[in-house]
Amino acid sequence: MWAIGLVVVALAVIYYTHLLFKWRSPKIEGVLPPGSMGWPLIGETLQFIIPGKSLDLHPFVKKRMQKYGPIFKTSLVGRPIIVSTDYEMNKYILQHEGTLVELWYLDSFAKFFALEGETRVNAIGTVHKYLRSITLNHFGVESLKESLLPKIEDMLHTNLAKWASQGPVDVKQVISVMVFNFTANKIFGYDAEHSKEKLSENYTKILNSFISLPLNIPGTSFHKCMQDREKMLKLLKDTLMERLNDPSKRRGDFLDQAIDDMKTEKFLTVDFIPQLMFGILFASFESMSTTLTLTFKFLTENPRVVEELRAEHEAIVKKRENPNSRLTWEEYRSMTFTQMVVNETLRISNIPPGLFRKALKDFQVKGYTVPAGWTVMLVTPATQLNPDTFKDPVTFNPWRWQELDQVTISKNFMPFGGGTRQCAGAEYSKLVLSTFLHILVTDYSFTKIRGGAVSRTPIISFGDGIHINSRGRERSGKKMWAIGLVVVALAVIYYTHLLFKWRNPKIEGVLPPGSMGWPLIGETLQFIIPGKSLDLHPFVKKRMQKYGPIFKTSLVGRPIIVSTDYEMNKYILQHEGTLVELWYLDSFAKVFALEGETRVNAIGTVHKYLRSITLNHFGVESLKESVLPKIEDMLHTNLAKWASQGPVDVKQVISVMVFNFTANKIFGYDAENSKEKLSENYTKILNSFISLPLNIPGTSFHKCMQDRQKMLKLLKDTLMERLNDPSKRRGDFLDQAIDDMKTEKFLTVDFIPQQMFGILFASFESMSTTLTLTFKFLSENPRVVEELRAEHEAILKKREDPNSGLTWEEYRSMTFTQMVVNETLRISNIPPGLFRKALKDFQVKGYTVPAGWTLMLVTPAIQLNPDTFKDPDLDQVTISKNFMPFGGGTRQCAGAEYSKLVVSTFLHVLVTNYSFTKVKGGDVSRTPIISFGDGIHIKFTARN
């Protein structure tokens, strides 16, 4: 039964599903928008990164707009978010920046900078104000007029000429290199032609990993990206230090201004300035290269647009005294149709998925409450792709801008953000695009060779690229979003800093080797991949081979030390209550105020009671006095029924039998006369236990939660019925719990149903799996059946009345049967291990176990050790050290004898009264609990 053993899993599931409910239904004063919080920890992140196959609004937003309306709630990477596609709400929030909301991406940086005399909101404002100021100094209108325009034109002439000489080029790739090298030169003097470091390649890798799984282990894309990022930050810091140490190296650029400003801006440190430059580079690199690439796509698909552009720009050239002179600021401002093309490109591209703000306090808007601390995602692309404003919104049509008035444009077109945070690099971006179009259409003709497919993930990607062939024409004579996309860049910087801390937790001492896996999820995905045999689960086996018998990992975001070492496991179990505590009862100790008791004592009190009540009803004395004949009757009845039905799936029928019997003994459940088939509920709950915990309608897990609530309600109704009517009492497990409510304060009308639920869950799965495996082993080992039959028929022959019931003495005499039971228990190892939680830091086997970490003592590793269980002749010392099917330490399962009695009695009734044949099935796997694939189908035949 493992009544205490597997209750570890059961009560943990109960507590976890309670947290799930709280996650999906956060309590606030007011009304949250409709929507789903998705999968805990991850939220709806997986749906968010599923690619959309066009430039239209990302399917994640579009589907939820259709389902919930323009405002909805969700969760991304564990962060609660309210998404707004509503213009009025977006305008309201942008107007109240600094009072109701703050910039989200700078929230984390405000914690690092001690800005004297400033509130956190002011601190964020200070940092943002500086970013905007330094960007405008180097990329604003005055700088563009005075010095940047001719440099931009030269850069574009050089690169377009190079591309024309190379044959077909992937424009996204070559434009990315061009944009990066130019921006890096203006920021810190990077000289791409003479530098040993090809930094644009680093940034390409970093961008690719930005939409990959953040699995920071050697061999992964993300791990390589982290190395490239560190390399880049080191180069930026080295450049900074070089200029600080040698003023002759200064050149009056962006970096030099940051160095000068270190005297007045306290947050400008030698560690922050490289991150600042990294963010600006990241923003310009991706946004402008994507916009220019989309420009090529739209032009190749719309030759009429190219004709009108060419006419406008050739007219500009004709007006010049010298046709070969440079582009002027006045000529740029005169490009009417070009501006329409730029606007249409920016309107459709929508490179950032939205603007992010964080609520400073609870506030109401549009009838909903925005809770303090929640992120608000303002999806400005929804207004730019609104078919009511922009007919056929994904169609590239520059002429539509002739018909739009300024009021409509101001309300529905925000490619560079909104509110007080409009991008400081907006004019720079438009100038680069316009200058690019000017040189392209006047000096070159171009043809798309292949590619052009785009998708959103949610940023734009180009699949197999866009390959363009360009050639010079005879002639006389991404957007940067400098503050806009730095949202993403600086958030990535901060997040990767957290990733590094996750994978390298600081402790005093030495942690075991191992990997912490993927943040939040850890190595949970690997843990639930099925093993195709009854051997030790591959998750543990592979790590034992790689790291040794003791290793660290993380499951569902919880740091864990796994031990397959007997000496360490014994040491841990011997120090329960001083170094460690039961893990699953940790949460319950917080719920129950046990007067005068420490938390450890509180946990001990609850466990002591669970063990005591279990022994009262399923311990040796109870088995001898009353339970044994009832077990035998139950087995006779069910085996006879199965023999009359033809082949049966034994896992299914045994599960029903075990559940109904245990439920009857716990709270008087009468399966034959009850309307509720509770065993079916438990089967569904068990199946969902190894499914994704995605608690939304239509999923297996959602249905399971409904079944669980239904079950808990039935148990609570039964409890209340007995409390209100003493005549309904029957002296069972439930009645004892009712009596004990007078003395045990933690026994409440809410806890008792959960206690019964856990005991039922434990017995249901563990015993049904053990009995099913017994059938598998017997059907595959006829010699074992012969020896069992000989032992049990000898028992019958010794009776005065061969039809009398099994006695306790007969049960204790079953020598070979006990060997069969032990072998079944040794191989089955139903629980994956014993769980404990460290109360404080301590050392064992040369490693430190940090306080708060979970320990998983993998007893199955000992029971499946080939060095121990190769020879069948085992002495008692070896058995005691290497065979712990019912746990160990002070927590050995109180239902151990009950479990062995049921299996032994089952074998007695089976081999003396029936012959049996396996018809089909028998495959098993671990996930990490045991499952049976297509079942094990057995045909029973009564023997004379």
Binding residues for heme: 423
> How far is residue 571's CA from residue 419's CA, in Å, rounded to a whole number?
62
DSSP state for residue 455 in the 8-state scheme: E
- Beta strands 842-844 and 847-849 are antiparallel
Helix (H/G/I), strand (E/B), else coil: 514: strand
Name the residue with tokens 């180069």. Answer: 235
Q: H/E/C letters for each residue in 529-580?
A: CCECCCCCCHHHHHHHHHHCCEEEEEECCEEEEEECCHHHHHHHHHCECCCE
In the block, tokens 């699949």 appear at 463
Q: State both tokens at 240.
A: 């900074």
Enter the tokens of residue 481: 């979003």
Tell me which residue of 578, 645, 643 sits closest to 838, measured CA to CA. 578
Helix (H, G, I), strand (E, B) or coil at 923: coil
First to last CA, the chain: 32
Contact 120, 358 (CB under 8 A): no
Three-state secondary structure call for residue 483: coil
Burial 524-541 (b: 16+ CB within 10 A, else e): bebbbeebeebebbbbbe
Helix (H, G, I), strand (E, B) or coil at 99: coil
How many Å apart are CA 435 and CA 157, to the nearest integer? 10
**DSSP β-bridge partners for residue 561:** 552, 855
Please give the structure tokens belonging to residue 28. 């606030």
650-667 and 751-780 helices, crossing angle to 10°:
150
Burial label, 706 (beta-carbon count in 10 A; 0-12, 13-18, 19+): middle
The pair of structure tokens assigned to 114 is 């001690």
What six digits make up the tokens of 643? 């023999």
Establish whether the linkage from the previous residue to 458 is cis, with ω within 30° of 0. yes
Q: List the beta strands (DSSP E) in 368-494.
A: 368-370, 375-378, 444-451, 455-456, 460-461, 466-472
Q: Are 832 and 859 in contact (CB under 8 A)?
A: no
- H helices of 302-404, in order, are 303-319, 329-333, 336-349, 380-384
Indicate left, alpha or beta for 219 from its phi (over 0: left) and psi (-120 to 50: alpha): left
**Cis omega (within 30 of 0) for bond into 693:** no
- The answer for residues whose C-beta is within 8 angstroms of residue 607's C-beta and 6 or more apart is 4, 582, 585, 891
Amino acid letter, residue 142: E
The binding site comprises: 423
DSSP 313-328: HHHHHHHSSSTTSPP-
The DSSP secondary-structure symbol of 459 reads S
Q: Is 876 helix (H, G, I), strand (E, B) or coil?
A: helix
Q: How far apart are CA 20 and CA 693, in angstroms?
A: 9
Cα distances from 764 to residues 518, 665, 774, in angstroms, run 33, 13, 16
The H-or-E segment that residue 637 falls in is: helix 628-643
DSSP state at residue 595: T
630: part of which helix (H) or strand (E)? helix 628-643
CB proximity list for 398: less than 8 A, separation 6 or greater: 305, 337, 340, 341, 343, 344
What the block records as the tokens of 720 is 């209340």
Take residue 45 and report the two structure tokens written for it: 């992140």
